[in-house]
Chains A and B, each alone.
Chain A
Amino acid sequence: MKSRIASGLTILILGLLISLGPQFLFKPCGPVLAHDGAAASWMKCHWSVRAEIGVGALAAALGIGLLAFRSRDTRLGLWAGVFLSGVLALLIPHVLIGGCAMATMPCQALTFPALTLLGILVALFSGGNLFFHFRRVRG
């Protein structure tokens, strides 16, 4: 009971951090401004962060599922979903979309490292639970 709530809450919080962290806590680069000061275009990191909103929300929803469902088979499926969303959270900034070119830009210096850390935590935590549940369901 306790571990079910703790693990569900952990994934819910990590998912919300992936989704909302870049919007409020570790913001990416701003828009490129035109001569009149208006936002002329957005850089790649903006779209990476937009995609992370969806991935983080998915992880958070799966976390709510982990809080709600007790069935071992269902939880096995939920953990598999969480694991894949963690991997996706890692791939978006580093492989699938990417970010600004220079390492000193805010997205490369802070936003992506924070998303990397959160993605690794989600993948490790869910990977461990997936392994544990898989053994229990199979064995």
Chain B
Amino acid sequence: MSQSGYSLSAGRLSWENLRRRPFRTACLVIVVFILAFTLFGGSLLAASLQKGLQSMAKRFGADLMVVPAGYGEKAEGVLLRGEPSFFYFDGALAAQLAEMEGVLQASPQCFLTSLSTECCDAPVQLIAFDPATDFVIQPWIAEDRQNGRLGGRPEGGLGEGQLVVGSRIDIRSNGTVQLYNHEYPVAAQLSETATGFDTTIFMTRRTMDLLKEAAHREGFGFIADGEPEGSVSAVLVKAGGNVNPNSLAQAIKRNHQNVDVLVSQGILAAIAEALEGFVAYINSFSIILWIVAVVVLMAVVSGSLNERKKEFAILRILGAPRKKLVRLVLTESSLTGLAGSLAGLGAAALLIFPFNTYLSLKIGLPYIRPGAGGLLVLGLVSLALSFAAGPLAAISSAVRISRAETYWTLREGE
């Protein structure tokens, strides 16, 4: 025990050294802070985008989406970004496509949009599907129910007047959604997909007819009112096992001049390509930053230890073994590393978590934040990598200073 009443342990000495040199300490902490911020922020973005793409690929379900000619871009807006839209063509096309060679399944869908003042404070896409032929929405509901995501929602098919809503649709406390001044019960809320489906309300064709009838009674009119009976907005097509979706799309275009065909493989490939470039950029930037941070820390630690040579020589004279000097330097760098890493992780979380939706809208790529387990792994890996930079950069200087000859070090400069 020293006279001041506390032990001169490596931890105590390191803490006092850091406290008495606030500028140097702040510089070291800031370098690690930037590293931790970039590592956690970058890896979180990359993981969210990859999860978004996986979810999108899983939920597309159909190989092709056939829409009226000239509406391909609008249909892509509905599909990817949930931009409400409506367009119609002859419903008989669904049956014709189902008969076509190479088509395994074909199911029509009909689009409407909600009013802006009800339900979700903005117009949302309403999609009616045909339960008899649907191969996209119902398997998705079944899968979510199997995974326990639908809680106590009723079993079985979608009843008359019932809705299935996307993950970002706000459900009233009584379990309903208001559309055209009428309340409709929500049978299920689907899991997040990072597509336009998250802001879409699904129903059967029968429910959409009932909704339109109720809306007519309230004095609302629809563009679809002028369309012939049985008009649809899109036909989803699943290609047969060995059929190339691109060839099938060309065949459909050849047989039907008045349609556009969206190929989901093509849409996904374009997104995957953009995502690949973005993730590669994040990864290379993180690696370069880590190397730069280690080099900067090495330079700062080496310079600062050179200035403190005599301090270490005195410690040696006071009886501190060489190992204790190494421990002292490593403890200092560990403390600055830990402080910088925790602050960097916290700042990245504070900035990225609240702006989740804004980031996904700005990036324009599917974005789903990883779950708690994934976040924990990303946080721990980023913490370990940024924390390790400090001791790693200090170790060579620490060994060098511990090996210095005490007598000559003290006499240096005389």
Are A and B associated in one complex? yes
Contacts from A to B (Cβ < 8 Å) = 29, 32, 40-41, 43-44, 100-105, 108-110, 112-114, 116-117, 120
Q: Which residues of B contact A101 (CB under 8 A)?
A: 119-121, 169-170
Min Cβ gap B353→A in Å is: 9
B361 at the interface (CB under 8 A from A): yes
Contact check, A110 vs B358: say whether CB atoms are below 8 A apart.
yes
In the complex, per-residue mask of B94-122: 1 if CB is within 8 Å of any chain A CB, else 0: 00000000000000000000001101111
Q: Which residues of B contact A117 (CB under 8 A)?
A: 350-351, 354-355
Contact check, B354 vs A102: say whether CB atoms are below 8 A apart.
no
Q: Which residues of B contact A110 (CB under 8 A)?
A: 355, 358
Contact check, B82 vs A104: say whether CB atoms are below 8 A apart.
yes
Instruction: Give the most central of A32, A105, A113: most B CB within 10 Å.
Output: A113
Contact check, A32 vs B116: say whether CB atoms are below 8 A apart.
yes
Bound complex: CA A32 to CA B357 (Å): 22
Bound complex: CA A24 to CA B357 (Å): 20
Please provide the 5 A-B residue pairs with the shortest distance between their CB atoms, ordered closest to farther.
Answer: A101-B170, A113-B354, A100-B121, A102-B120, A109-B357
Interface hits, B119-170 → A, CB 8 Å: 119-122, 124, 168-170
Min Cβ gap A48→B in Å is: 13
Q: Which residues of A contact B358 (CB under 8 A)?
A: 109-110, 113
| Closest residue of B by beta carbon distance from A117 | B354
Bound complex: CA A125 to CA B61 (Å): 49
Contact check, A108 vs B354: say whether CB atoms are below 8 A apart.
no
Q: Which residues of B contact A108 (CB under 8 A)?
A: 357
Instruction: Give the most central of A40, A101, A114: most B CB within 10 Å.
Output: A101
Q: A32-B116, A110-B358, A113-B358 are in contact. Are A105 and B351 (CB under 8 A)?
A: no
Bound complex: CA A104 to CA B354 (Å): 13
Bound complex: CA A102 to CA B117 (Å): 12
Cβ-defined partner of A102 (8 Å) among B124, B350, B351, B356: B124
Min Cβ gap A90→B in Å is: 11
Q: A109-B357, A110-B355 are in contact. Are A41 and B117 (CB under 8 A)?
A: yes
B333 at the interface (CB under 8 A from A): no
Instruction: Give the most central of A43, A109, A120: most B CB within 10 Å.
Output: A109
Contact check, B117 vs A32: say whether CB atoms are below 8 A apart.
yes
In the complex, per-residue mask of B283-295: 1 if CB is within 8 Å of any chain A CB, else 0: 0000000000000
Bound complex: CA A44 to CA B117 (Å): 11
In the complex, per-residue mask of B185-216: 1 if CB is within 8 Å of any chain A CB, else 0: 00000000000000100000000000000000
| Closest residue of B by beta carbon distance from A116 | B354
Contact check, A105 vs B354: say whether CB atoms are below 8 A apart.
no
Known A-B contacts: A40-B117, A101-B121. Give 11 more (CB < 8 A).
Answer: A29-B121, A29-B122, A32-B116, A32-B117, A102-B121, A104-B361, A108-B357, A109-B355, A109-B358, A113-B355, A116-B354
Interface hits, B385-410 → A, CB 8 Å: none
Q: Which residues of A contact B168 (CB under 8 A)?
A: 102-104
Contact check, A100 vs B357: say whether CB atoms are below 8 A apart.
no
| Closest residue of A by beta carbon distance from B361 | A109
Bound complex: CA A16 to CA B368 (Å): 33
